[in-house]
Amino acid sequence: MNVGQKEFTSALLDPDLPVPQGLTDSQGRPAGKRFDVYRNNVVFSLLEAMQTAFPVIRKLVGPNNFNTMCSSFVRKHPPTSPILMFYGAAFPEFLHQYEPVRKYPYMPDVARLELARRVAYHAADVTPIKPEVLAEIPSDQLMESRFSLAPAMQIVQSDHPIVALWEFNMIEGAPKPEPVSHTALITRAEFDPEIVAISKGSSAFLKILQQGETLSGAFERATERDPEFDLSTTLGLMLQTQIITNIHL
């Protein structure tokens, strides 16, 4: 009896299905436990990928719960690409639906933050502009200029204190999270991503700027979003995090 890869795959991902007939040992007896080696390899190797990708979620739920939850996730959502560095894009939505963690509504957003951090980690390298370049541009010209921003820059919006949650679980001595909402800005000056909480106005400003709007246009729309939006603080943050790669006058 021939065993196709469709049948093999189904049995691999569903331990309740029987081992395909036509898989044997060297004497022609049913493969049985031998097939479990493949079943285990798939789940364990993908669990490992999830552990690498979501260390904060793992700390929040504990290693055992994490493994239970992820065993279910990896069978339902196997990777769609051999590039495992970005595996887990469906995890936030999975967490949103997963009954045992529904009482922790911040969990999907923390997972989103962890995914964004990995995207930043592997993003293209760029050379930031020097702060002097910005300082030398007359302000009327600067307001009409457009900016190129580093591809590592990511923004994750949340109704929960995701930056503090991330820090509390990853940085020793970080303070306990307060119940506030955070918008996280992820940047990468050299190799290690940095995460900071920014205002809703700064977040809107950066997103609009990234779409190619002029500085004045982005400023106007950020102020509509957040009347307390402060342009010079935000520009200072952009220089400090080295996300400006070019200014087009």
Partner 1 sequence: MLDNTKFPNKIKMPDRAGVGYKPQHLDDILKDPKAIGWLEIHAENYMGDGGRPIAQLKRLREVFPISCHGVGLSIGAEGPLDMDHLLRLKKLENWLQPALFSEHLAWSTHEGHFLNDLLPAPYVQKTVDTVVDHINQVQDVIGRRMSLENPSTYVQFAETDRSEVEFLREITQRTGCGLLLDVNNVFVSATNHAYSAQGYIDSFPMEQVDEIHLGGHEVDADDFGNDLLIDSHSRAVVDPVWALYEYTIAKSGPFPTLIEWDNDIPEWDVLVNEAVLADAVLSKAKVGARS
Q: What is the DSSP string of 29-73?
A: -B-THHHHHHHHHHHHHHHHHHHHH-HHHHHHH-HHHHHHHHHHH
**Alpha helices, DSSP H, located in 89-230:** 91-97, 107-122, 131-135, 139-143, 162-170, 200-210, 215-225
Backbone phi, then psi, for 229, in 5-degree steps?
-55, 130
If one asks whether residue 46 binds partner 1 (CB under 8 A), the answer comes out as yes
Question: What's the closest the beta carbon of residue 59 comes to partner 1, in angstroms?
Answer: 21
Q: How many CA atoms lie within 13 A of 28 on its CB side?
A: 1
If one asks whether residue 82 binds partner 1 (CB under 8 A), the answer comes out as yes
If one asks whether residue 33 binds partner 1 (CB under 8 A), the answer comes out as yes
Q: Which is nearer to partner 1, 122 or 130 (CB)?
A: 122
Applying the rule CB under 8 A, the residues between 174 and 193 that interact with partner 1 are: 188, 191-192
Chain-centroid distance, C-alpha 199: 20
Chain-centroid distance, C-alpha 70: 16
Question: What's the closest the beta carbon of residue 197 comes to partner 1, in angstroms?
Answer: 23
In angstroms, rounded to a whole number, what is the distance separating the alpha carbons of residues 184 and 150?
16
Selected from 17, 45, 159, 248, the binder of partner 1 by CB under 8 A is: 45
Q: Which is nearer to partner 1, 123 or 247 (CB)?
A: 123
Applying the rule CB under 8 A, the residues between 150 and 169 that interact with partner 1 are: 151-152
132: helix, strand or coil: helix
In angstroms, rounded to a whole number, what is the distance separating the alpha carbons of residues 116 and 136?
33
Q: Which is nearer to partner 1, 25 or 93 (CB)?
A: 25
Site string for partner 1, 213-232 (x = CB under 8 A): --------------------
If one asks whether residue 2 binds partner 1 (CB under 8 A), the answer comes out as yes
Chain-centroid distance, C-alpha 183: 14
Question: What's the closest the beta carbon of residue 26 comes to partner 1, in angstroms?
Answer: 4
In angstroms, rounded to a whole number, what is the distance separating the alpha carbons of residues 210 and 151?
10
Question: What's the closest the beta carbon of residue 90 comes to partner 1, in angstroms?
Answer: 12
If one asks whether residue 31 binds partner 1 (CB under 8 A), the answer comes out as yes
**Alpha helices, DSSP H, located in 62-148:** 63-76, 91-97, 107-122, 131-135, 139-143
If one asks whether residue 84 binds partner 1 (CB under 8 A), the answer comes out as yes
Total of chain residues touching partner 1, rule CB under 8 A: 49
Interface contacts to partner 1, rule CB under 8 A: 1-6, 8-9, 12-13, 22-35, 37-38, 41-42, 45-46, 49, 78-85, 121-125, 151-152, 188, 191-192
